[in-house]
Amino acid sequence: MKNDSRTAPRYERIEAALLDAIADGRLAEGTVLNEGPVANVFKTSRTPVRKALAELNAKGALARFDGRGFIVAGQNNGAMQHVRRLKLSAEMLGAASEAEYETPRASAAIIAEDFEREIVNAMPFGLYRINEMAAAEHYQVSRTIIRELLQRLQDRGLVRKDRRSHWVVGPLTARDVAHYFSIRQKLEPLALRESAPEMALDDICEMVTRTREALESGDDVMGERVDALERDIHWRLLRQTSNQHLLRMIEQSQIALVVNKVFSSSIGARPFRQPLEEHAIILEFVIRGSHDAAANALEEHLRLSADRTGKRLMALSVFPTPDFHGYLKPESRFTD
């Protein structure tokens, strides 16, 4: 295929392959092209194919055919007199080695991670509508994949559908943060009382060691290390409870943690010394087997965290709104 570039958007590579095939005569005048068969040859979704065909139509290489597809244009519109319905092949379309058009499996996780990060980052900055088609085009995947990702995020309480059945995210308000922490103050200590006695001593000791090392490193604790330490207290310490419904409710109520992540990315750091000292107290009680005292310490930690998170959310209100991907649009633009 000519003018090939693995870094170009997928629709551009498909467009170039089809244009080469037309120029070389492999796609003769009058050949009918529909999205489905072309997508099957290129082993891709219809979204990039639709855009590639539209681009070729705009350039005059293809013409609209009976409202259901496109036809390879000829001189003086002669294509309409020579309609060819051919079984398309990879060789015919210049896609002989089109493994490159498939989304690598590893990239699926990258797409999901980037999509979730963008959704989460938007939450404190207002109400945004999520455009499925625009997201599919941005990541060069099918709308089905985007819809599946949105449904997963919906299960976790990160997105929802409005009264018009549009996907939306945010806003995460100070009241929301207070309510989520109020739930967490009741549920997490309950889970800790059930979970901690079932945990292996080695696992608890590992948490204690990570916490002590972080305290000794002073103010150098940030980023993924902070997330891991938070997960020790607010997930690993709780997950041995047999009540899976309780764990699901806890996970959904931890949405407010996104404020801390966004705050950290906005200012480039995240003060963590005080929370870490509170973690150490909780773990000290756990390793002694004083599970009620540990649960009470966790409840107090969450009370203090609620206050800290509320202040961070207030601070974010004076930050400029970040530039989000094009599939996120402020909902105010869609009001009637």
Q: CATH number of the domain that 71 lies in?
A: 1.10.10.10
Q: Within this chain, do residues 119 and 252 fall inside the same structural domain, yes or no?
A: no
Mean pLDDT calculated for residue range 101-118? 71
CATH of the domain at 283: 1.20.120.530
* Cβ–Cβ under 8 Å, residues 263 and 312: yes
Give the C-alpha distances (Å, rounded to integers) separating 83 from 40, 44, 79, 189, 196: 21, 26, 6, 72, 73
Each residue's pLDDT tens digit, 286-324: 999 999 999 999 999 999 988 888 888 887 777 777 788
* Cβ–Cβ under 8 Å, residues 250 and 238: yes
Q: Within this chain, do residues 52 and 180 fall inside the same structural domain, yes or no?
A: no
pLDDT given for residue 106 in this prediction: 47
Least confident of 52-56, 79-83, 202-206, 249-253: 79-83
Spatial separation of the C-alpha atoms in residues 26 and 115, rounded to whole Å: 39
Last residue of a domain, one of 117, 147, 171: 171
Q: Within this chain, do residues 312 and 179 fall inside the same structural domain, yes or no?
A: yes
Q: Within this chain, do residues 180 and 309 fall inside the same structural domain, yes or no?
A: yes
Give the total number of structural domains in the chain.
Answer: 3
Q: Within this chain, do residues 45 and 136 fall inside the same structural domain, yes or no?
A: no
Spatial separation of the C-alpha atoms in residues 295 and 288, rounded to whole Å: 13
In the chain, what's the furthest Cα-to-Cα distance?
A: 88
3 lies in a domain? no
Exposed/middle/buried for 78, CB within 10 Å: 0-12, 13-18, 19+? Answer: exposed
Q: Within this chain, do residues 267 and 238 fall inside the same structural domain, yes or no?
A: yes
Spatial separation of the C-alpha atoms in residues 257 and 205, rounded to whole Å: 25
Q: Within this chain, do residues 201 and 306 fall inside the same structural domain, yes or no?
A: yes
What's the chain's average pLDDT?
80
Spatial separation of the C-alpha atoms in residues 208 and 283, rounded to whole Å: 6
Instruction: Specify the pTM.
Output: 0.57
Q: Within this chain, do residues 214 and 286 fall inside the same structural domain, yes or no?
A: yes
Mean pLDDT calculated for residue range 92-115? 65
Each residue's pLDDT tens digit, 191-245: 999 999 999 899 999 999 989 888 887 655 556 677 788 889 999 999 999 998 9
2 lies in a domain? no
Q: Within this chain, do residues 166 and 185 fall inside the same structural domain, yes or no?
A: no
Mean pLDDT calculated for residue range 78-83? 55
pLDDT given for residue 221 in this prediction: 54
Domain of 117, in residue numbers: 105-171
133 lies in a domain? yes
